[in-house]
Amino acid sequence: MFTGIIKNTGKIVNIRKINKGFEIEILSNFVLKKKDIGTSISVNGACLTLTKFIKKKIFFFISYKTYEITNFKYLKKNNFVNLERSLKFGDEIAGHFVQGHVDTTGKVISVKKLMRTWTIVISLPANFNSFLVDRGSICINGVSLTIVKVKKNTFSLVVIPHTLKITNIINLNKGDTVNVEIDIVIKYLNSLNNK
C-alpha cells in the first residue's frame, strides 16, 4: 500500500527481457539497505519487488502481465520514473490509499501551462468512465492527484508547481501514455452497485 506522495524519481538505465518477464534497471538516489531486498516499491505507480541494488542502481522484476497493462512497454533509456516506498505503520497519509495495482493506461490529450501550474487532460478506455468522479482521487504514474472535471472518456487534472518539480509529470507531453490506478473506494462502490 502506498499514498501517491512521491519523494524520489529515478532514471531508466535498461529494460531487458529475462526468463518469465523483464528486468528494469534504474539509477536513483533512493537510499536502500540490504534488508530492503524483497520489499515492495511503487515504480511509476506499479508495485514491484526490489530484487537487488548495486550502489545507485536498483533492479526490479516485471512480469509479462504487468508489462502489458502498464506504460513500461513504452519507456526508454533515460526516461524518468516515480518511486515510492510502501507504507509503514504510523506513516502520514497525505495523498490517498494507492495499491500499486495499475488498472489501465491513459493517453495525454493536452497539456496547458498557465504560469507554473499545468492543466492536463487524459483519456481512458470507455469502460473506465463510470469510475471517474469530479474532485475524486486518481493515481497517475504513481502520483496522487485530484480530478478537476470529468467529460466523456476524459478527465482533467490541475498539477501544482511542487508536484511538477518532484515527479515525472513535468515530462509529460501530448500523446504520452501514463499508468492509471482508480481510487480503491470508487472501485469497490462501483462493484457493489453492479451486483
Question: Which helix (H) or strand (E) segment is 109 a member of?
Answer: strand 104-114
Domains detected in the chain: 8-85 (2.40.30.20), 104-193 (2.40.30.20)
Q: Tell me the C-alpha distance between 178 and 180, whole Å.
A: 6
pLDDT band with cut points at 50, 70 and 90 for residue 190: confident
Q: pLDDT tens-digit profile of 23-71? A: 999 999 998 999 999 999 999 999 999 999 999 999 999 999 999 999 9
pLDDT of residue 146: 96
Going by pLDDT thresholds of 50, 70 and 90, the confidence category of residue 12 is very high
Cell 545507485 sits at which residue? 56
What are φ and ψ of residue 170, in 5° steps? -65, -20
In this prediction the pTM is 0.93
Helix H or strand E segment including 164 = helix 161-166
User: What does pLDDT average to over the chain?
Assistant: 93
